[in-house]
Amino acid sequence: MQQAILILENEEIFYGQSVGYKADSYGEIVFNTAMTGYQEVVSDPSYKNQIITFTYPHIGNVGINKDDEESNSSYVSGLVLSEVPTKSSNWRSKIDFLDYLKEKKIVCIADLDTRYIASIIRNKGAMNACIIHNEKDIKKTKKELARYSGIIGSELASKVSSKKKYVFNENIFQHCDRKSSGKKKLKVVAYDFGVKKNILRILNSMDCEVEVVPAKTTADEILSLKPNGIFLSNGPGDPEPCEFAIKTIKELFEYSIPIFGICLGHQLISLASGAKTEKMKYGHHGANHPVIDLKTGKVMITSQNHGFVVDEKSLPKSFVVTHRSLFDNTIQGIKHKKFPIFSFQGHPEACPGPQDVNYLFKDFINFMKKSINAKKK
């Protein structure tokens, strides 16, 4: 195997083996602590321009299958693995992980101490990094890395969004009997800022007609579709430069249509309300994050993937905090005191991870039903 080299912004250098696509790649390096679901992580558009360090050693051992893809493309800048992936062994596998990396043009370095690298990120914060393949390029790469702009200030949502609107018909867990009744009772218009497929699968399985629209769809275009509810998806990058989305969401606030946001969608709702967001030291990336529901006191284990957080001091009084992270007490959920607008920072759709917060989708359904009944009176 060919040598690969990981260079961090703090000039630490790690030598490993190149097991993916052969190219030099730059990105913000983060660590993910999930013990399952590497395929869902790698295919999540929210990781655009990021290099993922997996702390769990067994990555690639169950191969790749069609059902677990969270998008049709991979936007990740690179992967850092502890061990060279072995040949896959699982009844659902259709392709080996190494072949998948090459097919999707994903740069990957293996045979590194990923937990040590995670400790560097945890102690010094997320930083830019690069994976290269020629030792002679180290000096040049360090200079380029120093000039690399990174995630802060980068509007990436429109870069991963669909270009055209479409109706999503895929059900959750296609290989079993849990399917939609086929009777579409509620229409949801879902903004694609980098949406994960399992969010759309869940909405479809709950008998919603799901129409997905591009990131820059205007409020007038949304209203012309006559939705019962509006969903704001997850996505990559810095939320504050998404001025087109913030402006549109502000306009949609005026129509009392139920709005539900996840991840980037949560941050955009906050920004549209007048709040601010800030960069976290190293973010939350994993499937084992404890979150408390402040209304019930219930603690849930959640899937997380974000590097920005809502600044609580800037949150207007018209919103109430509904959930908090038990790792660092940051905001995990908010809800408008008067209108049917709410959001969650983590990923209730999981994929990968636990489904403890899945009830938020039911809350969204109930908001839409209440809105319809109110209009009938």
Q: Write the CATH number for 86.
A: 3.50.30.20
Nearest to 282 by CA among 8, 25, 29, 14: 29
What pLDDT score was predicted for residue 177? 45
305 found inside a domain: yes
Residues 264 and 46 sit within 8 Å (Cβ to Cβ): yes
Number of domains in the chain: 2
96-108, pLDDT tens digit by residue?
Answer: 999 999 999 999 9
152 found inside a domain: no
User: Are 209 and 331 in the same domain?
Assistant: yes
User: Are 189 and 214 in the same domain?
Assistant: yes
**pLDDT tops 80 at residue 115:** yes
What pLDDT score was predicted for residue 375? 79
Catalytic, out of 208, 263, 266, 285: 263
Q: Is 130 considered catalytic here? A: no
349 found inside a domain: yes
88 found inside a domain: yes
Q: Is 175 considered catalytic here? A: no
User: Are 130 and 175 in the same domain?
Assistant: no
User: Are 78 and 210 in the same domain?
Assistant: no
Q: Write the CATH number for 347.
A: 3.40.50.880
Separation of alpha carbons 191 and 212, rounded Å: 6
> pTM (2 decimals)?
0.95
192-243, pLDDT tens digit by residue?
Answer: 999 999 999 999 999 999 999 999 999 999 999 999 999 999 999 999 999 9
User: Are 294 and 231 in the same domain?
Assistant: yes
Q: What is the arithmetic mean of pLDDT over 18-25?
A: 96
306-319, pLDDT tens digit by residue?
Answer: 999 999 999 999 99
User: Are 163 and 137 in the same domain?
Assistant: no
Q: What is the arithmetic mean of pLDDT over 341-358?
A: 96
**pLDDT tops 90 at residue 348:** yes
Residues 114 and 82 sit within 8 Å (Cβ to Cβ): yes
Q: Is 221 considered catalytic here? A: no
- In the chain, the percentage of residues whose pLDDT exceeds 90 is 93
Nearest to 262 by CA among 138, 162, 176, 351: 351
User: Are 36 and 62 in the same domain?
Assistant: yes
Range of the domain at 325: 157-376
User: Are 271 and 291 in the same domain?
Assistant: yes
Question: In the Cβ-directed half-sphere of 167, how many Cα atoms lie within 13 Å?
Answer: 7
Catalytic, out of 9, 40, 70, 349: 349
> Given pLDDT bands bounded at 50, 70 and 90, which one contains residue 185?
confident
The residues facing 32 across adjacent strands are 54
Q: What is the arithmetic mean of pLDDT over 280-294?
A: 97
Catalytic, out of 266, 284, 306, 347: 347
Report the amino acid identity of residue 176: C
User: Are 171 and 130 in the same domain?
Assistant: no
User: Are 99 and 213 in the same domain?
Assistant: no
127-167, pLDDT tens digit by residue?
Answer: 999 999 999 999 999 999 999 999 999 999 999 999 999 99
